[in-house]
Amino acid sequence: MKEEGDEQAFSAVLRRLVQGATLTSAESTEIFGQIMKGCVPESQLAAFLTALAVRGETEEELLGAVRALRGQMRPLSPRAGADSAAEKGGVVDVCGTGGDGLGTLNVSTATAFVLAGLGVPVAKHGGRALSSRSGATDVLEKLGIPAEADMKRQARRLAETGLVFLAAPFHHPAMKQAAAVRKALGFRTLFNLLGPLCNPANVTRQLVGVFSRAWCDPVANVLETLGSHSVWVVHGETEEGGIDELTLAGPSFASVREQGRQFTLTLHPEMAGLKSQPVSALRGGDVRENARRLEALLQGEKGCYRDTVLFNAAVGLHVAGRETVLAGEVISPHALQRNVALAAACLDSGRAYEALQRARESVRN
């Protein structure tokens, strides 16, 4: 921190962490607030993030960090798209933490177009690549949808077209205070989790993918604590490690928080009427290749990418309040397969591609 006393106070926090202590949510909010104001030198920030990562971050620390970032966030109008959203079941976000290191194609971005094609209002939050080769913002730019900094235009786009892409740097400028340190460290930190929990449109319906199964319950709890009422936090297991989305390469796990209920689920692709496929079949390339593959998918290309998106869109429909996939607190294969069929029809009819075209057109107006 810039003042000598503040630096000493932060050093005291570091000593506590090195000794294995944890932070309360209030302490975490204060410390991350100082970090995001640029008051913490890079050397101390690196030590702080490393100490948390080595000891293992807690749910309370995550809650405090999210509150700090939301406090610095540049949000859309809270009522952006509210009238149309109320009629269609609410605005939804589909977003992954990244950080799984598998270099896959852009699943959540493609899922957003499918949901929009089905009439679900989507406020898709995302950023540029940090741990992958092509983040949501990168691939959207290649598709002719540049990042938009004007909050009023974003709000209007959500209200009028039911689809808006929210580039994290414009809404979370405070995150730049940690960017250089995160890049230099080269491993996952608590910052990897913050973006998906801080949607600038204040959505309360969220399908969030996380890089580790251990974070499913904590992330779901934090979102519920902060007011979300339909949350699925998912993690897939593949032959090459964990992935931040529902996968065809193995079981997927979900922590669900909805209608005051809390429960966990295990999903297999066969439940959705889909074939298991290795994660290597979902491998992406550079941003140009990933954009090409996403547009080909929306134009009807078959394969693992399509089926993975269908799986995620089927659950996204449920999270949006449109079509359930549950019978009580268990998966209904019949309902899940019905949702997969709805998503497939959206792609086959061209409605998902039309959502892409509308998004392109909207940025020109």
Which segments are annotated as binding site for 5-phospho-alpha-D-ribose 1-diphosphate? 96, 99-100, 104, 106-109, 124-132, 136
Of 152, 169, 82, nearest to 121 by C-alpha is 82
What residues have CB less than 8 Å from 134, skipping those under 6 apart?
106, 284, 285, 286, 287, 290, 291
Contact 122, 88 (CB under 8 A): no
Binding-site sequence positions for Mg(2+)? 108, 244-245
Binding-site sequence positions? 96, 99-100, 104, 106-109, 124-132, 136, 182, 244-245
**Cα distance between residue 253 and residue 235, in whole Å:** 5
**Cα distance between residue 139 and residue 112, in whole Å:** 13
DSSP 77: P
What residues have CB less than 8 Å from 166, skipping those under 6 apart?
76, 123, 124, 125, 126, 154, 199, 200, 201
Tokens encoding 22? 């944890």
